[in-house]
Structures are given as structure tokens and as C-alpha cells.
Amino acid sequence: MDLKELEAGVNPEVHWYYQSKILPLIEYTKKLLRNNTPLTIVDVGSGSGFFAYSLEKEFGDQINKVYLVDINYTAEEMAATRGAKIEKTLSIPATIENSLVILMDVLEHLEDDLKMLQDIKANSKGNNNHFFITVPAFYSLWSGHDVYLGHYRRYKIAMLNKVLNDAKFNKIENTYYLYGSLFPMVWAVRKLDNLKKKEGSTSNMKPFNPLLNKMLLGITSIDMKLAAANKLFGVTCVSQGEV
């Protein structure tokens, strides 16, 4: 998760957004583990590591190793995890093998998103490497939220597929949208924010009242069950397949 949101008091262990967003990633990982071959998780741009930690907790011994890759880790943080099952590092492993590479809202932060994907492809060995990528969707949702988080762009399905194909990823199994049910509300909120032309930029991601949080989690959990077929609109764009 984005560390700026963590600093704003967002707890991914309870927040509806993160608790729903992890669901399709868990389902995809479960599908990959059906052949009983343990996976290595390479979490690129891991931040707090919420998504990778969640996968390790969910699947236990079926996860062989977890690399948390983020340029913001300190030498002390990396030294404390060196050689451990869950290891923090500044760069992607030199050899990516039998792995699921996840980039959860990372590519939009990079001026050159293609270069990152090409580096992952270059380090991938064998034929059992997969990817799960999420990025913010639709330029019509651009607002101070994107500016605050340091985004360069928002994506549509065709745009995300193009950069994956340009990076020579082997197979795109599916690209689709999440949070289609919330799109009209988010669109309206972002447009109002833009009209107000407030000084400075802030994130829309904040802690929620427990009751509202529970309601939103219920709505978005249903959304996740249908999302794989959603090619029309949403707040987040997802792609999964073989590196």
C-alpha cells in the first residue's frame, strides 16, 4: 500500500478498500497453487508489504519465499530480514523463478512504466512466472488525489495491455476493472474536488466510520465476485497472466 495513506491513518487490516482489493489477488494466487508447486512472491513497490504479508498468511507453506521490493527501505530494515522467508530489498531479484510478481498500484508512480516491466521480464526464468497488476483507471477520475500520491497517469484496459505487450510479457490472461459499482460516486466526488480548486492536494483515502466501512466492504466484496467480467468502467484496472 502507499505509505502516504498509511501515514494518513489508513489501516489496511480493516479498511474496506484494501480488504476488498486483496480478494481477487487471493483468488488468482489460489488458482496458481492448484498444481501444488510452492510460489515465490515478488512484491514490487511493496511499501508496507500488506498484500504480500496477506498472501503469506493466507497460504503459509505454499509460499516458498517473499521478496518485498521498495526503494524506501532502510539498510537496517533490510539487514533485519536478510535470509528470512520475507525479505526486504531495494531491487527485484536477479532471478525470478516459480514466482508471482505483484505490482499493486505501482506503475502509475513511474515516469517510465515500460522500463520496470522490461526489467521484470529480463530477470524471469523458466515458464512458471505470473503477474498480478493493479493501476488506477480512467483519466476522468484524475484529481488532487493523484497529484498528492505522485501519479503520472491513469489507465484503461487497452493502455495497460499495450505496455504489457511492449514489455513482451508472455500472456495476458485477463484485464478488467474493479469498483465498477463505485465509479459514479467516485467520479462525482473527484469532479467536485476539482471544481473547488482547493490549494494543495490530498488523498481521498482516509479512515472511515466503522459502520460505513462495513457497508462499503459488503458492496465492494460483491463487486469483486463480478469484476473479472467488467470491461466497461471502474476505479482500478487489473491485469493478470504470465510474465
Q: How many domains does the chain have?
A: 1
The mean pLDDT value of the chain amounts to 93
Mean predicted confidence (pLDDT) in 187-193:
88
CATH classification of the domain holding 137: 3.40.50.150
pLDDT at residue 3 in the model: 60
pLDDT score at 207: 81
For residues 122 and 93, the answer to whether their CB atoms sit within 8 Å is no
Instruction: Please state, in angstroms and rounded to a whole number, the distance separating the CA atoms of residues 165 and 91.
Output: 23
**Per residue in 72-125, pLDDT tens?**
999 999 999 999 999 999 999 999 999 999 999 999 999 999 999 999 999 999
Range of the domain at 34: 3-242
